[in-house]
Amino acid sequence: MRAAIWRRCWQPGPRTAYSSPEEFIFRGEWTDVNSDVAAKAANAEASDANALANGRIALIAGEGILPIEIARRLTERSGAPLVLTLRSDVDAFRGIADPLIRMRCPRLSQAIREMKKYGVQSVIMAGRVPKKLIYIPALFDPLTFRYLTRISHDDHSLLAGVVDIIESNGISVLPYWHILPEFLAPEGQLGHRPPTEKETHDVEYGVGVLKVTLSCIP
| Domain spans of the chain, in order of start | 2-183
Does the domain spanning 2-183 belong to CATH 3.40.50.20?
A: yes
Mean pLDDT over 20-33 rounds to: 41
Distance between CA atoms of residues 160 and 178, nearest Å: 20
* Residue/partner pairs of 163-172 with CB below 8 Å, 24 or more apart: 163/125, 165/108, 165/112, 166/108, 166/111, 166/112, 166/123, 169/112, 169/116, 171/58, 171/112, 171/115, 171/116, 171/120, 171/121, 171/122, 171/123, 172/51, 172/121, 172/122, 172/123
Reported as a single tens digit per residue, the pLDDT across 155-200 is 777 788 888 889 989 999 998 888 888 877 787 888 899 999 999 9
Confirm whether pTM is higher than 0.85: no
User: Strand 100-102's sheet: what is its strand order?
Assistant: 100-102, 82-85, 57-61, 122-126, 172-174
pLDDT for 99 equals 94
State the pLDDT at residue 33: 41
Q: Which helix (H) or strand (E) holds 122?
A: strand 122-126
- To the nearest whole number, what is the mean pLDDT of the chain? 75
**Which 8-state DSSP code applies to residue 119?**
T
